Amino acid sequence: MKESLRIEFDRPDRAYRFGEIVRGIVRVDRARSEQCRAIRLVRFWGTHGKGNEERGDPTVTVLHAGPLRDRGPHVFEFEFPAPPGPFTYRGHFLNVEQYVEVQLDLPWARDPKIREEYVLLPGRPFAAPAALLDSPEHEARNIIPGIGAVLGTGALFVGLSMASASQPIGFLFLLGGVVLFLPALKKLSDRRLGEAKAFLSSVFPTPGEEVGVEVKVSPGKLTRLNRALVELTAKERCVSGSGSSRTTHRHEVFSKRWTISGPMTLEGGSTRVLNGSFRVPEDAPPSFRGKSNKLLWEARVRLDIPNWPDWVKRIQLVVWPQENLLGRGERVEAEVDPAPILEEIPAPVLGEEPAPALEEIPGPVLEEIPAPVLEEIPAPVPEGIPAPVLEEIPAPVPEGIPAPPPAPEASGGKLREVDDSLVRALTAIHESDIFDSRKETLIRDLLGKAFEMVIEVKRVDRSMGVFSRADYRDGRTVIGKLLDSDLEVVVLFPGQRDEEVRGWEPGSVHEVRGEVVEWDRLRKLPKLLARD
């Protein structure tokens, strides 16, 4: 049954970049667990939306083989390297997702399963798949203008004959003839400009990159030009059904024009070079090409000739992230296979689990505190509270329980609780034994309280709509540690603070006010909502 299976990721936003490790746990609780033959973890990408659903080749991992001896709950850990793509995209007609599916193999019964998606973002650079640019031109395109001209001539002749005989249907033939003549008119513009060619400095631009445009024209005679333009577009193209029921859905994701040149006169018999550029938007989604679903980028160079068909050149682009977005500054060659790249990632990037570091807090902190500070402690401290906190405690604290911080003032007032009270609370929680009943009490006491803190940023990601509060869904999630400690926190920021937070670099230090709303039991850290 579906409710007996649950997948939990180690990050609240479920967002991972290529080059990182996806971690989590699977919980199984079934009455028939003793009949289990295997528990499998299947990961794959898939599409959904208006077009036919597509699915990538699955990767299967066996989490457990054989029966489960009791009813549970049973917990199984999993981890795997974030794949190199396709990256998560949620658009108008097209959605591309990365999935993790758990399947419970039972004999003589329908196998229960549960599926959860996670967010895959660009991280370490690697070469774009060649298949993204694999769009061979059909041979029929070269003969279409000639066929159109012949059929258009016939349609115009019939239309004129019927129109002269006062038959209304003749106007339809005239309209059809004009449409059929359009490809041939395009060839006329090519002849007017001679051997016109357009070039781009890159057909694999990265988001935010400026791409150069060069246009060469060699008109046979004096030719006026109103202007030269380049238009960058991104479109979703999704096909649903097949055969006679096939339907194509199109949606324009992005469109913008840049002027290459204004009005000018082109001398006959000479070559003229026009130069310009355009910029790919910073938030441009990467190109995607499936069998039925595509996200295509295209640059369209247009020369506007007065009283003549425009000259148009279409150039397909592959927008692909090519810079290191992990925030660590490692140099990675694009030709390197994804597998060895993953092995080179230093431990701080792969190991986002805070538990091991938290258990070692007392030792490293004691080494960093100079002896004179310890001598100023006015009173003995009960067992269970680490030494570094003593310099801030004015009086003895009850055994094993952190000093209760004063309640914050009403909304709009200044928060009275400070970072050291949060440090004491988190330290006491981590030092409590897993079977200690005080641990749950300490966690419950922490929820709903507000703190002022100074954090050192480890990573900033989009919240990606995972959080339940509507004003926080499109904001940013900051993962960092409290300054001068190894205690990690997750702070969720609302969408209206996006401009402020997205520029925070890893290693930068910021003052934050937040309210604890949840305790992440998998990563053993608090989640806070940022407050002004």
CATH of the domain at 472: 2.40.50.140
For 9, 91, 303, 447, 492, the CA distances from 231, given in Å and listed in that order, are 42, 21, 11, 52, 38
For the entire predicted model, the pTM comes to: 0.57
CA distance 528 to 513: 9
Is 416 found in the same domain as 520?
yes
Which one-letter DSSP state was computed for residue 392?
A: G
Token pair recorded at residue 264: 């000018």
Is 330 contained in some domain? no
SS3 286: coil
Q: Residue 439 pLDDT > 90, yes or no? A: no
413 found inside a domain: yes
Is the domain of 260 the same as that of 374?
A: no
DSSP symbol at 403: P
**Cβ pair 532, 471 in contact under 8 A:** no
List pLDDT tens digits, range 59-72: 999 998 888 776 66
Angle at which helices 169-192 and 144-164 cross, to 10°: 140
Q: Are residues 111 and 192 in the same domain?
A: no
326 is a domain residue? no
Boundary of a domain, candidates 317, 332, 366: 317
Copy the structure tokens of residue 488.
């990690």
Residues 112 and 174 grouped into a single domain: no
- Candidate ranges 275-279, 405-409, 439-443, 497-501; pick with highest mean pLDDT: 275-279
16 three-state secondary structure: strand
Q: Nearest-CA neighbor of 235 among 141, 298, 183? A: 298
What one-character DSSP code corresponds to residue 8? E
Please check whether residues 430 and 468 belong to one and the same domain.
Answer: yes
pLDDT in tens, 86-139: 999 999 999 999 999 999 888 887 888 899 999 999 998 888 776 776 554 444
Q: What is the pLDDT of residue 150?
A: 59
Single-letter amino acid, residue 195: E
93-107, 164-178, 234-248: least confident range: 164-178
Last residue of a domain, one of 89, 122, 155: 122
Q: Which two tokens stand for residue 462?
A: 């989009």
> Mean pLDDT for the chain?
76
pLDDT for the residue 349: 35
331 in any annotated domain: no
In 322-447, which residue ranges form alpha helices assigned H by DSSP? 338-343, 347-350, 355-359, 362-368, 371-375, 419-431, 437-446
- Determine, yes or no, domain membership for 328: no
Specify whether 362 is located in the same domain as 507. Answer: yes
Given 302, 317, 332, which residue is the final one in a domain? Answer: 317
| pLDDT at res. 192 | 66
3-state helix vs strand vs coil in the chain, percent to 5: 25, 35, 40
**CATH code of the domain covering residue 101:** 2.60.40.640
| DSSP code for 181 | H
Confidence of residue 81 (pLDDT cuts 50, 70, 90): very high
Higher pLDDT, 144 or 37: 37
At position 94, the amino acid (one-letter code) is L
CB 295 within 8 A of CB 234: yes
Same domain, 242 and 168: yes
HEC profile of 454-510? EEEEEEEEECCCCCCCHHHCCCEEEEEEECCCCCEEEEEECHHHHHHHCCCCCCCEE
pLDDT of residue 22: 96
Averaged over 371-397, what is the pLDDT?
A: 44
- Would you state the structure tokens that stand for residue 323, as one six-digit string? 């810079």
SS (H, E, C) 249-299: EEEEEEEEEEEEECCEEECCCCCEEEEEEEECCCCCCCCEECCCEEEEEEE
Residues of the domain holding 72: 2-122
Closest by CA to 492, choosing from 470, 522, 521, 514, is 514
6/89 same-domain check: yes
Is the domain of 88 the same as that of 202?
no
Count CB-CB contacts under 10 A for residue 211: 22
Write down the pLDDT at residue 495.
84
Helices and strands (DSSP H and E) totals, the chain? 10, 24
261's enclosing H/E stretch is strand 247-261
Answer yes or no: is 397 within a domain: yes
Assess if residue 448 is contained within a domain: yes
My answer on whether 260 and 196 are in the same domain is: yes
Is the residue at 203 inside a domain? yes
Task: Specify whether the backbone of 158 is left (phi greater than 0), alpha (psi in -120 to 50) or beta.
Answer: alpha
267 and 399 inside one domain: no
- Report the pLDDT averaged over residues 327-340: 40
The rounded distance, in Å, linking the Cα atoms of 489 and 506 is 14
Mean pLDDT score, 303-324: 87
Domains: count for the chain: 3
In a shared domain, residues 167 and 112: no
